[in-house]
Amino acid sequence: MSDSWPRRRLLAILRGASEPLDAQELARITGQHVTTVRFHLDVLTKESLVRQFQQPPRGRGRPRIGYSAVQRSVGYQELAQVLADQLGPDPRRRSEAAITAGRTWGAKLDAGDHAVESLEDAKDVAMTLLSELGFAPERDQAAETDEQVLIRMTACPLRELARTHSEVVCGVHLGLIKEVLDRNGARGEVNVRLHPFVDPELCVARLELSGQRRAQDNREVASVPAGADQAAGGEPALAPPLAGRVAPQLRNADPNVAKQSAQQW
């Protein structure tokens, strides 16, 4: 299963679903043929990653077979906490190390073969990746322009840890998204920023055309500062909360940590 992009996507969708889904519903969501979906579901069932449930038929006919993801019991939250604590006390260095770790993760991940030739392509790749990882992403069409796309991350597998270690958790996710997009052709074309906790249960990923790409598209001469909007080490820093909001993880936090994080943003 680890080498199959379609099966990982199906598993991520089932993990984020509030009730079992049948093959027809999954085919509609993924755009795959229902026969292909059933094949992948059979593999996931044999690997004990999903379970089958009998569901009432729609109208007349035989009962439907629904599928639900088997929930993991491994203490990933505790493991992530231990790892975060090993990155040292300086928020900036922790963030840089986390972004590097995220890029390393993205380099080893089977990211499929989805060429990024436009901002829309970058959005599709990012949405698929975030869905597979359990973030339940939603496209924020009201905030979209020709130069940026916002993706609402309505769930996070490490949300509680992110409230106290956002520079680590969000840094890893930022590096991961950037690496996957770069591997598919977005390097130098699309910038990625994360806005942690714009609401208590919501984070936002912002995908923007780079300054050079905008200038090319508009047939204008643009000058882009070499280090603009980047943290030390050549990676974009985590973005500040949208609309001037204060991130919950910095409220009532140690003033020195809040000050260092604000400087990084």
- The confidence score (pLDDT) of residue 177 equals 95
CA-to-CA separations, 77 to 64, 81, 165, 195, in angstroms, rounded:
35, 6, 12, 21
Written as six digits, the tokens of 45 are 């069932």
Grouping H, G, I as helix, E, B as strand and the rest as coil, residue 74 is coil
Query: In the chain, which residues have pLDDT < 50?
Result: 1-2, 73-74, 217-234, 236, 241, 243-265
For residue 25, what pLDDT is reported?
92
Question: What per-residue confidence (pLDDT) applies to 75?
Answer: 57
Q: What is the pLDDT of residue 96?
A: 92
- How far apart CA 220 and CA 16 sit, in angstroms, is 44
What residue ranges define each of the domains in the chain, with the CATH number in brackets?
A: 5-69 (1.10.10.10), 89-258 (3.30.1380)
Give the pLDDT confidence of 60-105 residue by residue, as tens digits. 767 789 999 886 544 556 767 777 788 888 888 889 999 999 999 9
Average predicted confidence (pLDDT) for the chain: 77
Q: What is the pLDDT of residue 210?
A: 83
Give me the pLDDT at residue 164, please: 84
CB atoms within 10 A of CB 94: 23
Determine contact, residues 81/161, Cβ cutoff 8 Å: yes
Give the C-alpha separation, 22 to 18, whole Å. 13
Cβ neighbours of residue 19 closer than 8 Å, sequence gap 6 or more: 66, 68
d(CA 106, CA 177): 7
Specify the pLDDT at position 76: 58
- pLDDT, residue 134, reads 85
How many alpha carbons lie under 13 Å from residue 106 in its C-beta half-sphere? 24
Cβ-in-10-Å burial (0-12, 13-18, 19+) of 18 comes to exposed
Name residue 127's amino acid.
M
